[in-house]
Homo-oligomer: A and B are copies of this chain.
Amino acid sequence: MAVNPTQTRVRKAAIRLFAKKGFHGVGIRELAQAAKVSPASLYHYIGSKEELLADIMWESLERLLSAAMLATTDVADPQEKLGRLVTLHVIAHAVQAKETAVVDNELRSLAPKLRRRVIDKRDTYEQLWAETIEQGAEAGVFRQDHDGLARKALLEMCSGVARWYSPKGEVKLDALASQFTDIALRSLGTSDAPPQPDLDRCRTIVKYTWGTHV
């Protein structure tokens, strides 16, 4: 994302402030101060406030999408696939809560053109979930998901993690991922003790994608 240390500060400050106060709730001066530069200098690193937002959202989605594709290619079993999708989604929304919260909440702050692109990328990601659920239904291990209701419900549930998770809290990431996977598979019809996905593989992907050890 950024090798330049100032650029990194700008990026991190923007993510933190946008997540906390919302795009329109943060002024350029406040952002500059948080990044320890003058408002004018800020514009050597960003095209505009809106471009900065779009960049942040794009990168966050890019990572989530690539992680999801890494985790699901060459996996046939729908339960394993969905388990991995849930696990990665939940972990991403926990360890990158601010970025993902911005993606979820600030779409409306983007002009139509940029918004369209980000939404398309998000849809591409959600399509991975839809396909997996469909494959599971065809294989008879999942119930039919009429109108994508279950998919929407599960995605909202998993994204919601970014709204309440705190690394200072009691909840361990392992327990979080395993509980959410359990709920997801049960919701789709699996009864009693749903199988858990390959957690080590997910860990590797998280490390590779976000550089975070979990």
Contact = CB atoms under 8 A, between A and B. Distances in A.
Copy tally for this chain in the complex stands at: 2
Interface residues on A, range: 35 or more
Interface string A160-192: 110110000111000110011011001100011
Contact of A147 (B156, B157, B170, B180): B170
A179 B156 contact: no
Contacts of A183: 150, 153, 183, 187
A113 interface: no
Contacts of A176: 149
A163 B153 contact: no
A213 interface: no
A152 B154 CA distance: 13
A146 interface: yes
Which of A108, A160, A163, A191 has the largest count of B CB atoms less than 10 A from its CB? Answer: A160
B160 A179 contact: no
Interface string A18-35: 001111110000000000
Interface in A40-95: none
A159 interface: yes
A95 B149 CA distance: 17
Given A22-B23, A149-B179, A191-B192, 4 more contacts: A22-B108, A22-B109, A149-B176, A154-B157
30 contacts: A20-B108, A21-B108, A22-B23, A22-B24, A22-B25, A22-B109, A23-B24, A24-B24, A25-B108, A25-B109, A105-B105, A147-B170, A147-B171, A149-B171, A149-B175, A149-B179, A150-B179, A150-B183, A152-B160, A152-B164, A153-B160, A153-B180, A154-B157, A156-B156, A156-B160, A156-B164, A157-B160, A182-B187, A183-B183, A183-B187
